[in-house]
Structure 1
Amino acid sequence: MSSSTAPWIDAPLLGFDTETTGTDVASDRIVTVALVHSVGPGRANETVATWLIDPEMDIPEPAQRVHGISTEHARAHGMNAAAALDEVAALIVEALAKDVPLVAFNIGFDLAILQNELSRLGLPTLTERLGHDIAPVIDGLVIDRGVDRYRKGKRTLTDVLAHYGLEQDGRLHTADVDVSATLDVVRAIAAKYPQVAGSTLADLHREQMGWHLRWAEGMNEWLTKKGKTPDVNTAWPL
């Protein structure tokens, strides 16, 4: 990396998260989106944009328990999905076009459900708008698995925050709080692992593809041994 270029960790980042009606990217709908433009550590350096969307279907009880948004609330106060997600997609594409990386925790889920929603609504997908694959992307979960492969225990956002000794401010599973927490995690990983901070965005993107592939193949092997369907997607971020 040339010395004239600031490390990616010191440049702007665009954090991204969705809360949804469930975990099936093909049939579930997006209820909230947060995009957090971050120019440095701490909440004072963040500009937060959030969307509440009417998913035009009932929000099942388990999903309501996770994010706290009821069907009634989303119907009464939510935006039209096409209008909201068109705005979201435009802002993501604008950032990526300037080489501002899209940052999330387990981004494969959020990107897949967004792409499916855009298709369902007859809107151009992120890939169609960009004219190429979605990059550069930074996934706090994928990088944590990559740099600390053999650590025991779960890797939910709460667990990973605790592992890096980070305070959680606000209620997780509120999209903007999750994004801010993810940005904290990514900065903590970069501080602890100089090879991550010193990488170019293009190299880090490629490395995450490899880390995810290794993890997904291991999971599929384990599922096969357990007599379950090896259905973990080996492609990343989509």
Structure 2
Amino acid sequence: MTWHLGRMCGFDLETTGVDTEQDRIVTACVVQCGGSQPTASATWLADPGIDIPDGAAAVHGITTDQARTDGRPAAEVVEQVIAALTQVVRDGIPVVAMNAAFDLTMLDREARRHGVQPLTDIVGDQLRVIDPRVLDKHTDPYRRGGRKLDDLCRTYRVPLDGAHSADADAIAACRVAWRIGQGVPEIGGAALDVLHGRQIEWAREQAESLAAYFARTPGKESWAAGVRTEWPLIPHPRGGVQ
């Protein structure tokens, strides 16, 4: 059975911001779907331990007061999310994450911050990731318009109810991955190990292309140095606790 017809695990975070080294997890979802089995979803609301900026709250709908009142301790949430993903990886199920390098890096930094063993330290090279953003940019590199999840949902005719909630985004990412796998034999027919390795190369090439665009664009030259080429996780700069 090809990967897109089997079980997939959607993973998504909503956070206090977009800085993986400094921002924190607010909500998380790990959802298993497909493979002719019932959908199984787990969601978490964390108290991130810092204020949630108004701009972030406007995106995902969680305020600082709500997180402090209803959220669970961040360390507990991080530990449980990693435990859920660990089981998925050990079951041989691919983790589907839109812009995986953000979510997996954020989870890694939060684990180190709270003294929790990071996912990759537990599962090593068993982790297999499907990133709809990387797949889409590889298969249709010259398409005009955005490449965010809602853009991809429109492109691939995938419903997105409750955008920017972790559970809705996780399910939608799986549906987009399924559409791409179904429509592109090079991707849908590839073994997971092979596809994971190809995405490492595609993500690097895409990042290098973006950096080159920034470098030659007036007013954006300084952005080029900040483009990271690693996928699906940006290594911690010191490898230890932040």
Same fold (TM over 0.5): yes
Runs of 4+ in 1 over 6 A off after TM superposition: none
Structure 1 match to 2:65: 72
Aligned partner (choices 206, 220, 230) of residue 235 of structure 1: 230
Q: CA deviation at 1:134?
A: 6.2
Structure 1 partner of 2:18: 23
- Contact 2:90–2:126 (Cα < 8 Å) also in 1: no
The alignment status of 1:203 with 2:191, answered yes or no, reads no
| SS of match in other structure, 1:93 | helix
Distance 1:65 1:222 in 2: 30
Structure 2: distance between partners of 1:24 and 1:203 = 30
Residue 90, structure 1, aligned to residue 83, structure 2: yes
User: Which of these residues, 86, 102, 113, is aligned with residue 109 of structure 1?
Assistant: 102
Amino acid across the alignment from 1:9: H
Q: How far does the alpha carbon of each residue in 1:174-224 deviate from its partner, in whole angstroms, 9 at most, with x for none?
A: 000001111110111111112211100001001111111111001111111
TM-score by length of 1: 0.93
Amino acid at match of 1:126: L
| CA distance in 2 between partners of 1:46 and 1:203 (Å) | 26
Measured after TM superposition, the shift of residue 107 of structure 1 is 0.8
Between the aligned partners of 2:10 and 2:159, the Cα distance in structure 1 is: 18
Contact 1:126 1:134 in 2 (8 A): no
Corresponding residue for 2:238?
A: none
Residue equivalent to 2:215: 224
Q: Contact 1:15–1:183 (CA<8 Å) still a contact in 2?
A: yes
Distance 2:207 2:126 in 1: 20
Check the 8 A contact 2:4/2:182 in 1, yes or no. Answer: no
Identify the residue that residue 40 of structure 2 maps to in structure 1. 47
Normalization by structure 2: what TM-score? 0.91
Unaligned runs of 5+ in 2: 234-242
| Identity in percent | 38
Which residue pairs with 1:3 in the alignment?
none
Give the length in aligned residue pairs. 229
